[in-house]
Amino acid sequence: MDLLDKKYLLAPGPVPVPPKALLAMAQPVIHHRLPEFSAVLETIRADLKYLFQTRNDVFFFASSGTGAMEACVVNLFSPGDKVIVVRGGKFGERWGELAETYGLEPVYIDVQWGLPVQVEVVKEVLTTHPKAKGLLMQAHETSTGVKHPVAEIAALTRHTETLLVVDAISALGVYPLPMDELGIDVMVAGSQKSLALPPGLSFVALSDRAWKRVEEAKLPRYYFDLRKEKKALGRSTTAYTPAVSLLFGLSAILKRLREVGLETLFAHYARLSGACRAGIEALGLELFSQAPCEALTIVKVPEGVDGLQLMKLMREKYHVTMAGGQAKLKGKVVRIAHLGYQSPLDVVLALSTLEMALSELGYKLPLGAGVAAAQKYFLQEV
């Protein structure tokens, strides 16, 4: 019971879910082969095209985002295929692990954690490896907060035989990634980020030329077989039992997103992240990312402060869950997400918690200064 320990979730997934989506998911479960459920699926499929900014079909699985990444690998490639992998954080590494697991031949573009991949380097690698079947990357690295230049890279890959496969799991709906317009071939997303739903649903959208590869690809696949899903889609259903309740929630969220519009959604996240960065800078703290994305703000733990102790204090005393660093960043950064059901006041709350916790750990900072900078940002006084 949580009467005296109200909890706040400010991690980059899972995220807070709006009450109306919780209520939608609390509806009685209905059978997934009924016509009334097909009607729900049809609406979801139309709305997903709007969200992905594509004319093509968007598929979904009952899985985490990693499942959809795996779906890309097994549906698009054949053993021995060469793929270029942008590796500048934990999720870039995941693309590499998937490629290696399935016997592909990854060509790595290793990028220093905290920096975006350089377009010139990508261009060079694409030229050196014209037979590469795919380029696997993140829209931004959730482990480092770095936004990669997807649009610029898409402008290169669209004129090659290399499919651009973008992990937009924590990017979709946060900032513009107009798939068709940019020429992104495959885009992956998950439910527990800007869609403000619990984890459990993942998404894959594919361009026409990516679909041709699905038909040619020789890797074994069953649960994540997009060919089966495409057939099922033609019958207004899904290949396997879908996550009925999550899809009720998704339907409610997507309806709301269409009402609100993508522009408003993007502006919302830009505002939250802009204010948070202003707050962090006002506190004299350093951002980890050299090219910060709008989905999360990553702050370096200042010299002399134990990062793990800081996270623990925020979690146990203030009941605020931000994310710590992953892998080599463990204990070195704090990741404040601006995802899901959040308002400007959540940025105030995050900064205030960070200020109090750092102060308690003996780090000297002007209490309230981060909050004040965020307030000024929200009031557009800067």
Binding site for a second copy (CB under 8 A): 1-6, 8, 18-21, 26, 196, 252-253, 255-257, 259-260, 264-265, 268, 318-320, 341-346, 348-349, 352-353, 355-356, 359-360, 366-369, 371-373, 375-376, 378-379
Helix (H) or strand (E) holding 82: strand 82-87
Q: How far is the CB of 319 from a second copy (least distance, A)?
A: 7
Closer to a second copy by CB, 71 or 339: give it.
339
Decide: helix, strand or coil at residue 167: strand
Closer to a second copy by CB, 219 or 369: give it.
369
248 in Cβ contact with 40 (< 8 Å): yes
Q: How far is the CB of 248 from a second copy (least distance, A)?
A: 13
Q: How far is the CB of 381 from a second copy (least distance, A)?
A: 8
Closer to a second copy by CB, 4 or 36: give it.
4
Q: Which among 1, 48, 10, 4 has a CA at the least distance from the CA of 317?
A: 4
Decide: helix, strand or coil at residue 117: coil
Q: How far is the CB of 16 from a second copy (least distance, A)?
A: 8
CA distance 54 to 251: 18
Closer to a second copy by CB, 308 or 372: give it.
372
Q: How far is the CB of 345 from a second copy (least distance, A)?
A: 5
CA distance 280 to 135: 34
Q: How many CB atoms lie within 10 A of CB 105?
A: 15
The CB-side HSE value for 158 (13 A sphere, CA atoms) comes to 15
Q: How many CB atoms lie within 10 A of CB 254?
A: 19
Closer to a second copy by CB, 182 or 275: give it.
275
What single-letter DSSP state applies at residue 242? -
Q: Which among 127, 137, 189 has a CA at the least distance from the CA of 159?
A: 127
Closer to a second copy by CB, 86 or 283: give it.
283
Nearest 10 degrees: Cα torsion 348, 350, 356, 362:
-130
> Who contacts 97 (Cβ-Cβ below 8 Å, separation ≥6)?
none
Q: How far is the CB of 254 from a second copy (least distance, A)?
A: 10
Structure tokens at 325: 């660093």
Closer to a second copy by CB, 6 or 131: give it.
6
The letter for the amino acid at 202 is S
